[in-house]
Structure 1
Amino acid sequence: MRRGGHLRVLVVGAGATGGVLGARLVRAGTNVTFLVREQRRVAEAEAVVTAAGHPVPLAVHHATVRALTAEGSAFTPSLYRGVVAGREGETEHVLGAFQTRAREHDV
């Protein structure tokens, strides 16, 4: 949607693909809002590390979700903060490597 001559984009379900595309749009100067359910992102990450032989204890899962979803939390992912701020970073490489690992473990 354009308002005041500026393109605004909402990325719904910003997983690997949405995250990379959204990051590229941000770098191009587009106003991008990412709609991500942190609990789902945590569940996806836990599925990959569990498949790789590193199961996540339930107490750690709950602590992680609390830390990532608390308003104003300093633990909001730095990759996300960097994308929102329009900074260059390792976002595409990290997401690509994570997606590759997930496929290797059929997750």
Structure 2
Amino acid sequence: MKSMVGTIITSINGSIAKVKQKYCKVDLLIIDNFGIGELLPQICPVLLDIIDKQSSVGGLLITSQYPVAAWHGLFPEATIADAVLDRIIHRAYPLALAGESMRKKLVHTIN
């Protein structure tokens, strides 16, 4: 399964409109590991458009290892960061997990 960012990068020379249309219509858009890969300047306006349009038709689930307070700094342009985060934060129900990694716990259980 391709990631959304990988699909968008692949489609820059192809049909970006089709990619945006696909992700704008889903019931639940999941962005996993937000902030792990680089947010390229040409991708950020596309991400903004997708999140803006998708917010009227479905839910958004974002997982990240970064604290929400650090998300702004992940964007290369402050204006786009403001716009994207504004659309995310105003409909968010943040859930911060604490404690040891489940992967570490599973290793201890298996051994």
Q: Would the TM-score normalized by the shorter structure come out above 0.5?
A: no
TM-score normalised by the chain length of structure 1: 0.29
Higher helix share: 1
Quick check: which one's strand share is greater? 1
